[in-house]
């Protein structure tokens, strides 16, 4: 081929809606020297059989941003690229059967309003006015989204492709990628028509993404965490009554979603399209008897209507008109699922200059935003919105095939489920266990999963209701509440112990480690024998991560970070580490116990040879209960306490000794309450790339006068001069029965002025507490705001800067 490109900047593998969007947005960013490879025709995978629904609804801030952007792009795309598109913004009605569902809708409405979307709550009579064919007798209400609708997936893909071509990008159809290799810091993508050398590769291969991902394993990659579900929807014949109504009304019916019954119902010309997400779905291509074919382009699975019979009957009872139209066509095609149902967008873990934009369950709705996000990742190294919810590095080494299948089936079967704050999904559990897991369970531990690690959320007593049904509430009250109160009281008044497996531990050593680390973090480093918090910012001065930095020797450090940050922070450090410095990780080999409370010194003293008079933020090697241990005097609870780090084999002896000496076990829910009372930030909630170091109130961790430059310094200096537009505050909220969840909208004088980043009941201060970002001029202590919690606005008061509990840190330093 004379025009075959042999050297480009970016190669995208996969020609569905997402791959085309990635190419379009790269070209729009000025990177038109990019190529998209498609083994067949564009749209040959999941795109061609996709229903094409385009919702904005999500309770994830980043996903809502992405889907909102898609609707905005699609509304103008046809004119922008001069390509005809069938995009119908019909609006949608999302039905609510329960008070809890209506609370979820209120939360989504608040988030949508913050993003500029005019979502509405409908009463039952208003539902009927917009959708005359519906039965509403058993409903509580509905959520109406005027921007929702549907689009032709093939036309969307072709429009994006035309726009990309018009800007100079290249699309090679019927040109399958067959593998990759690496040479002189560049990628070589192999195809049947020749090799293409490039700087960056993007895996946008849809349900073939795992197969493509295997090519990158020799270069540090892993198996892509995904599985493939069979999703069916059916199309009816045309219905005369619907045609008559549509012609008279001059528009289509709103898209209907009965989220509690788990299906969508959409007008398709003058018929209806019904798509259920059945509780007991079907996974495909999961064992040797059902192998994934080399090419499934433009193909479908056989019909399997028995699986969806209940949903069809339920939908006909809800909209009797559906029963008057015969089934015209059944579509049963593959849809990829990640274990949490969200896509993989961002850096490919462990692999240089490789990215993922794959495993989209709702690729049409999210495709526009995904292309924008991917292009930002590639061209700028950062995204406008914090995209941790979709970052491929959110998963680590526990996502084997069995796990992915179990979670995919669970997510599909609960596609529209409410994600209650006290609920833990049961599939795919016990992937990573602490050395005292069985002991924790015997003590009543009700477990939660944190990057695959099992930790106790709270400790139940005999007779407590630990059923899944008990957690189906947004409210604070539940069987856990008195236990959390008791656990917080134990830490406040005596001594508590928390088993905390999964801490990410990165050991950095070598001549020059001090100088390099000072140029890596925004602030200063501790002296030998001490520890402090350090932060890493991006070029915009936004918060990338937080480490506990422990200095063992002049050029020997340990960086400790959250379990969920393991691959994110590990990659951040590895990519920045210069030659000559060594890095080793001991995350899985060691465990940590948090001991906290005013009597913790008395509990620990008889068990250790450590010097417990050493001050706050000190550390030492010692023995505890005869076992080698590393003791750090620090406490995320805000009380006198230590972290006890030790090899896994030593932990059971130490844990039992602490319990025998009087320590009471406490869980993650209590820890969350205790840390919020102290104003301690949590990663990817209060600390994210949505906020700068100065907005986050972390000025004391920025040293502008040190000789080393650090990422984000220029941006932070400029921000310091003009003043941050937002400020971090602590709020006391008159919250009633429900505490403020993440991204609750803040109001002042009828205007949206900020958002909460986390919230909980503070059992030591006896009040509902929220951490928040607010417009800078409103960050003064005593300012009165309103927090919108599930649709109701609650009075909130800005507190003085500093901890609510023990503001002078006397208890911490005791």
pLDDT, one tens digit per residue, over 320-330 is: 999 999 999 99
| pLDDT computed for residue 497 by the predictor | 98
Measured over the CA atoms of residue 52, residue 58, residue 61 and residue 62, the dihedral's sign is: negative
pLDDT in tens, 222-267: 999 999 999 999 999 999 999 999 999 999 999 999 999 999 999 9
Q: Percent of the chain beyond pLDDT 70?
A: 100
Question: Residue 266, Cβ neighbours under 10 Å: how many?
Answer: 26
Q: Percent of the chain beyond pLDDT 90?
A: 99
| pLDDT computed for residue 287 by the predictor | 87
How far apart are alpha carbons 149 and 126 in whole angstroms? Answer: 19
* Residue in the block written with tokens 């219905």: 239
pLDDT at 125 over 80: yes
pLDDT in tens, 608-628: 999 999 999 999 999 999 999
| pLDDT (mean) for 475-492 | 98
How far apart are alpha carbons 467 and 451 in whole angstroms? Answer: 23
Q: How confident is the model at residue 292 (pLDDT cuts 50, 70, 90)?
A: very high
* Closest residue by Cα to residue 739 from 389, 386, 420: 420
How far apart are alpha carbons 359 and 189 in whole angstroms? Answer: 21
The two structure tokens encoding residue 582: 């060594």
pLDDT at 521 over 80: yes
pLDDT in tens, 782-797: 999 999 999 999 999 9
pLDDT in tens, 459-476: 999 999 999 999 999 999
Q: How confident is the model at residue 2 (pLDDT cuts 50, 70, 90)?
A: low
| pLDDT computed for residue 615 by the predictor | 97
According to DSSP, the residues that pair with 150 across neighbouring strands are 53, 88
pLDDT at 1 over 80: no
DSSP element (H, E) containing 235: strand 227-236
Judged by DSSP in three states, 438 sits in: helix
pLDDT in tens, 48-62: 999 999 999 998 999
Q: Specify the higher pLDDT residue, 289 or 157.
A: 157
Task: Please state the φ and ψ torsions of residue 113, each to the nearest 5 degrees.
Answer: -60, -40
| pLDDT (mean) for 519-536 | 98
| pLDDT computed for residue 94 by the predictor | 98
pLDDT in tens, 170-184: 999 999 999 999 999
As a residue count, the chain comes to 814
* Residue in the block written with tokens 């417009």: 775
* Closest residue by Cα to residue 365 from 677, 743, 63: 63
* Closest residue by Cα to residue 568 from 594, 587, 596, 540: 587
How far apart are alpha carbons 234 and 284 in whole angstroms? Answer: 19
* Residue in the block written with tokens 């599985």: 227
103 secondary structure, DSSP code: H
**Contact status, residue 365 vs residue 89, Cβ threshold 8 Å:** no
How far apart are alpha carbons 625 and 153 in whole angstroms? Answer: 64
pLDDT in tens, 569-602: 999 999 999 999 999 999 999 999 999 999 999 9
Q: How confident is the model at residue 3 (pLDDT cuts 50, 70, 90)?
A: confident
| pLDDT computed for residue 217 by the predictor | 98
According to DSSP, the residues that pair with 126 across neighbouring strands are none
CA 606 and chain centroid, separation:
43
Mean residue pLDDT of the chain comes to: 97
pLDDT in tens, 32-47: 999 999 999 999 999 9
**Contact status, residue 61 vs residue 108, Cβ threshold 8 Å:** no
| pLDDT computed for residue 59 by the predictor | 86
**Contact status, residue 432 vs residue 398, Cβ threshold 8 Å:** yes
């Amino acid at each position: 081929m004379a025009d075959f490109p042999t050297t480009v900047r970016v190669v995208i593998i996969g020609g569905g809606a997402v791959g085309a969007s990635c190419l379009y947005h790269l070209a729009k960013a000025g990177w038109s020297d990019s190529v998209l490879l498609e083994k067949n025709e564009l749209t040959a995978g999941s795109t061609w059989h996709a229903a094409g629904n385009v919702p904005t609804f999500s309770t994830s801030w980043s996903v809502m941003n992405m889907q909102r952007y898609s609707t905005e792009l699609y509304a103008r795309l046809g004119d922008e690229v001069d390509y005809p598109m069938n995009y119908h913004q019909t609006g949608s009605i999302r039905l609510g059967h329960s008070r809890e569902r209506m609370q979820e809708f209120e939360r989504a409405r608040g988030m949508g309003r913050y993003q500029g979307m005019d979502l509405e709550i409908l009463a039952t009579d208003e539902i009927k006015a917009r959708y005359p064919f519906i039965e509403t007798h058993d409903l509580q209400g509905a959520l109406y989204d005027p921007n929702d609708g549907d689009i032709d997936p093939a036309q969307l893909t072709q429009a994006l492709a035309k726009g990309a071509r018009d800007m100079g990008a290249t699309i090679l159809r019927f040109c399958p990628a067959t593998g990759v290799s690496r040479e002189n810091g560049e990628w070589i993508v192999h195809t049947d028509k020749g090799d293409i050398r490039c700087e960056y590769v993007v895996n946008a291969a849809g349900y073939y993404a795992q197969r493509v991902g295997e090519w990158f394993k020799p270069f540090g990659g892993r198996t892509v965490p995904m599985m493939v579900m069979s999703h069916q929807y059916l199309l009816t014949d045309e219905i005369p009554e619907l045609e008559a109504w549509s012609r008279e009304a001059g528009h289509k019916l709103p898209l209907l979603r009965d989220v509690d019954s788990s299906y969508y119902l959409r007008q398709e010309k003058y018929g209806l399209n019904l798509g259920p997400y059945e509780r007991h779905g079907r996974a495909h291509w999961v064992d040797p008897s059902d192998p994934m074919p080399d090419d499934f382009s433009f193909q479908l699975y056989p019909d399997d209507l028995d699986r969806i019979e209940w949903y069809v009957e339920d939908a006909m009872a809800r909209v009797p008109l559906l029963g008057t139209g015969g089934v015209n066509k059944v579509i049963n095609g593959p849809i990829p699922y990640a274990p949490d149902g969200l896509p993989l967008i961002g850096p490919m873990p462990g692999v240089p200059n490789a990215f993922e934009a794959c495993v989209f369950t709702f690729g049409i709705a999210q495709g526009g935003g995904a292309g924008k996000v991917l292009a930002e990742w590639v061209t700028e190294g950062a995204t406008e919105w914090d995209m941790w919810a979709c970052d491929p590095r959110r998963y680590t080494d526990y996502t084997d095939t069995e796990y992915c299948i179990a979670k995919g089936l669970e997510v599909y079967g609960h596609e529209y489920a409410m994600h209650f704050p006290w609920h833990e999904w049961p599939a795919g559990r016990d992937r990573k266990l602490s050395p005292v897991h069985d002991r924790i369970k015997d003590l009543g531990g009700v477990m939660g999963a944190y990057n695959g690690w099992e930790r106790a959320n709270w400790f139940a007593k005999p007779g407590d209701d630990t059923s899944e049904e008990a957690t189906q509430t947004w409210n604070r009250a539940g069987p856990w509440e008195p236990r959390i109160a008791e656990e917080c009281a134990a830490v406040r008044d005596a001594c508590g112990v928390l088993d905390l497996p999964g801490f990410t531990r990165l050991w950095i050593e070598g001549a020059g480690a001090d100088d390099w680390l000072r140029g890596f973090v925004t602030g200063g480093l501790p002296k030998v024998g001490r520890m402090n918090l350090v932060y890493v910012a991006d070029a915009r001065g936004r918060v990338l991560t937080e480490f506990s930095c422990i200095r063992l020797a002049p050029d020997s450090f340990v960086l400790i970070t959250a379990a969920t940050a393991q691959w994110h922070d590990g990659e951040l450090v590895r990519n920045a580490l210069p030659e000559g410095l060594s890095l080793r990780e001991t995350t899985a080999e060691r465990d940590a116990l948090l001991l906290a409370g005013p009597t913790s010194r008395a509990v620990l003293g008889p068990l250790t040879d450590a010097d417990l008079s050493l001050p706050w933020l000190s550390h030492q090697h010692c023995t505890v209960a005869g076992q080698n241990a590393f003791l750090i005097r620090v406490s995320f609870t805000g009380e006198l306490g230590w972290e006890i780090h030790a090899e896994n084999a030593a932990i059971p002896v130490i844990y039992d000794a602490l319990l025998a000496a009087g320590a009471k076990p406490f869980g993650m829910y209590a820890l969350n309450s205790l840390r919020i009372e102290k104003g301690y930030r949590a990663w990817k909630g209060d600390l994210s790339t949505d906020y700068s170091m100065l907005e986050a109130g972390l000025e004391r961790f920025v040293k502008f006068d040190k000789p080393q430059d650090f990422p984000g310094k220029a941006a932070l200096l400029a921000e310091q001069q003009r003043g941050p537009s937002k400020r971090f505050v602590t709020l006391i909220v008159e919250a009633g029965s429900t505490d403020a969840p993440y991204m609750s909208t803040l109001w002042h004088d009828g205007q949206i002025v900020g958002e909460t980043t986390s919230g909980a009941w503070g059992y030591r201060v006896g009040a509902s507490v929220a951490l928040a970002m607010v417009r800078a001029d409103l960050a003064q202590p005593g300012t009165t705001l309103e927090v919108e919690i599930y649709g109701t606005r609650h009075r909130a008061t800005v507190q003085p800067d500093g901890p609510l509990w023990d503001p002078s840190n006397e208890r911490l330093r005791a």
